[in-house]
């Protein structure tokens, strides 16, 4: 599996905004130029492991928070992402999302044999 640099960049941007930091401030904390951080956030440049660790530390998050779209075993982080999606939903929206999730899960499990067939190719 190849790293999804756009997804990593998007997660960095979201975490930076939640931490109420500008690109300039975060780039200063991490030791990269604001232009390089901008390129990392847009996914137009490959981010080094060292930079990922420095960014995660500066934002007080884990590297898993940034890499979960590229890691197969990321259940905990993805569950947290779902919780964040639901955080500002009203009761009606949560019911609809629950119904959609249940129907999707049922279809995925019912058609699991199709996944096995496509994985064989």
Residues in the chain: 121
Model confidence pLDDT, tens digit, residues 4-51? 899 999 999 999 999 999 999 999 999 999 999 999 999 999 999 999
Q: CATH class for domain 5-67?
A: mainly alpha
| Cα separation, 37 vs 112, whole angstroms | 40
Please state the pTM of the whole predicted model. Answer: 0.64
Q: Which two tokens stand for residue 81?
A: 């992402």
Model confidence pLDDT, tens digit, residues 41-58? 999 999 999 999 999 999
To the nearest 10°, the Cα dihedral for 86, 88, 90, 96? -30
CA atoms within 13 A on the CB side of 90: 1
């Amino acid at each position: 599996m190849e790293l999804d640099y756009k997804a990593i960049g998007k997660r960095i941007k979201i975490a930076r905004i939640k931490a109420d930091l500008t690109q300039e401030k975060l780039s200063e904390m991490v030791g990269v130029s604001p232009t390089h951080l901008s390129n990392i956030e847009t996914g137009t440049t490959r981010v080094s492991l060292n930079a990922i660790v420095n960014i995660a530390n500066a934002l007080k998050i884990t590297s898993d928070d940034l890499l979960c779209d590229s890691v197969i075993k990321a259940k905990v982080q993805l569950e947290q992402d779902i919780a964040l999606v639901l955080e500002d939903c009203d009761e009606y929206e949560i019911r609809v999302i629950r119904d959609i999730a249940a129907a999707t899960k049922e279809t995925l499990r019912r058609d699991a044999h199709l996944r096995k067939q496509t994985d064989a190719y």
